[in-house]
Amino acid sequence: MCRTLATFPNTCLERAKEFKTRLGIFLHKSELSSESGGLGKFEWASKHCKESFSEDVLGWRESFDLLLSSKNGVAAFHAFLKTEFSEENLEFWLACEEFKKIRSATKLASRAHRIFDEYIRSEAPKEVNIDHETRELTKTNLQAATASCFDVAQGKTRTLMEKDSYPRFLKSPAYRDLAAQASATSSPASSSSQAAEPSHT
């Protein structure tokens, strides 16, 4: 157990363990490579108590942007997509996000071709579902690779996930169970119930 969590009260630790177990449902049999950014690891050390867990989980249903901004949410969504055999869409989106951070022109060009070969070209090992026109436009962009050369393809892949996969993720039994637990945990009555002593009259 990380030292950060070890300093919390027992009730908080119990809640944290419960959330970790429930979030683990999403990651069952979901082995991610280092190329995916290690999404299989939750950021427990960065969370302070049960309120943080519940806010994080409940935020995922507020908007797709909130889901993508949460590393735990991305890990959970990725594992869900694996059950639908469509994880390449999220992996491509994440690869593009990392690609935009590259400052070296040489590395930018090299990485651009790697991403194209892995996700964009016809018969690519993780080919994403984009139209022919977008594929050809992206191919043309590689001739002078810039940080924005995948923007159109990334945008279309994101829209596909938001309109198609994201609603199913929110309706999945695993997420609904997790959200219900988060809602209960975030309520004042739930957080204080263990500390309350029964009254004797």
Specify if 79 maps to a domain. Answer: yes
Q: Are 78 and 32 spatial neighbours (Cβ–Cβ below 8 Å)?
A: yes
Per-residue pLDDT tens over the stretch 49-89: 456 778 899 999 999 999 999 999 999 999 999 999 999 99
Task: Give pTM, 2 decimals.
Answer: 0.72
Tell whether 94 is covered by a domain: yes
Q: Is there a domain that residue 19 lies in?
A: yes
Closest Cα to residue 97, out of 55, 69, 60? 69
Q: How many CA atoms lie within 13 A of 167 on its CB side?
A: 4
CB 93 within 8 A of CB 161: yes
Q: What is the CATH number of the domain that holds 56?
A: 1.10.167.10
Number of domains in the chain: 1
In a domain, 121, yes or no: yes
Please determine, for residue 32, whether its predicted confidence score (pLDDT) is greater than 90. no
Tens digits of residue pLDDT in 95-113: 999 999 999 999 999 999 9
Output the pLDDT for position 33: 36
195 located within any domain: no
Domain enclosing residue 180, as ranges: 9-188
Q: What is the pLDDT of residues 136-183, one digit of tens each?
A: 999 999 999 999 999 999 999 999 999 999 999 999 998 998 899 888
